[in-house]
Amino acid sequence: MRETKSLSAPRRLQWMTATVRNVIDETPRVRSLVLDIPGWPGHRAGQHVDVRLTSEDGYQAQRSYSIASPPEAPKLMLTVERLADGEVSSYLAGDLRAGDTFELRGPVGGYFVWTAALGGPLFLVGGGSGIVPLMAMLRHRAAAASEAPATLLYSSRTQADIIYHAELEQLAGKGDGFRLVHTLTRDRPPGWGGLARRVDRAMLEETGFAPAETPRIFVCGPTPFVETAATQLRDIGHAAHLIKTERFGPSGR
């Protein structure tokens, strides 16, 4: 096995310089960065990059960020939620402006990936900024004109915190087999047509596909959100190997 592997030199993940072309305010705390990256090797929906920032005195900080754009898009998009005392996020979703540069490398991660060729049904469960890699999958599904049945269950704190709100509604309106279910955990605005509680087992059962339909399931968000939803999905009867998870942190303790 070692021999066969060393025949093809491993593809080294090089640090590349990204230039910010555009900054999009998605919500009061969340910002998308549209990037130019000469030499970007391409990616699959669901993968992430490692970002490295360097200060004037040479100090560096690295974090992972999911890719929001589909493989078909000409430019890479990241979407970053600004955390109050976040070392990297408060810079990327704060001071950073169009024309600025930073380093990144990738794509990283080969298992939290969906390609149209894999087909459906596809059940996406996202909490907060955990929508980011799921959005890449939905954008890829649309770009590839896939009609694989797909459902997104998306939990946000308040209506104002819903990331990609307009684009999600537009995708859901196409009638191509994509169904969108919102739930809000801290808000129930007048006229709200979605759900208004934390994701629970009943919600996963009612909105998702039956285990017999063997949906591919992707769960992404803060660690406690992912822990709970993934365990409930398994309890409902979905096979563990069909439940893929990406935990953004922190531990919640």
- List contacts with ligand FAD (CB under 6 A): 48, 63-66, 79-81, 83, 85-90, 129, 132, 222, 246, 248-250
Secondary structure element (H or E) that encloses residue 243, with its range: strand 243-247
Distance CA 123, CA 180 (A): 10
Minimum distance, C-beta of residue 250 to ligand FAD, in the bound complex (Å): 3
Check binding of 230 to another protein (CB under 8 A).
yes
Backbone angles phi, psi at 65, to 5 degrees: -140, 135
How far apart, in whole angstroms, are the C-alpha atoms of residue 90 and residue 86? 5
Residue 143: CB atoms within 10 A of its CB come to 15
Of 36, 40, 52, 188, which one interacts with another protein (CB under 8 A)? 52
Q: Which is nearer to ligand FAD, 37 or 83 (CB)?
A: 83
Q: Which of 31, 49, 80, 102 binds another protein (CB under 8 A)?
A: 102
Between CA 101 and CA 107 the distance in angstroms is: 18
Nearest to 154 by CA among 174, 173, 168: 168
Helices (H) and strands (E) in the chain, counts: 6, 11
Name which of 86 and 121 has its Cβ closer to another protein: 86
Residue 17 sits in the site that holds another protein (CB under 8 A): yes
Give residue 9's identity as a one-letter amino acid code: A
Measured between alpha carbons, how far is 101 from 37 in angstroms, rounded to an integer?
10
Residue 70 C-beta: closest distance to another protein, Å = 20
- The partner in contact with residue 66, picked from ligand FAD, another protein, none with C-beta cut-offs of 5 to 8 angstroms by kind, is ligand FAD
Which partner from the list ligand FAD, another protein, none does 54 bind, CB cut-off 5 to 8 Å by kind? another protein
Closer to another protein by Cβ: residue 52 or 188: 52
- The pattern of x and - marking residues 189 through 228 that bind another protein according to CB under 8 A reads ----------------------------------x---x-
The tokens for 18 are 């990204």
Least separation in angstroms between CB 234 and another protein: 5
C-alpha distance from residue 225 to each of 61, 115, 250, 251 (Å):
26, 25, 11, 10
CA distance 112 to 100: 30
Using CB under 8 A, list all residues that contact another protein: 1-2, 5, 9-13, 15, 17, 50, 52-56, 58-64, 87, 91, 95-96, 100-103, 108-112, 223, 227, 230-231, 233-234, 240-241, 243-245, 247, 249-253
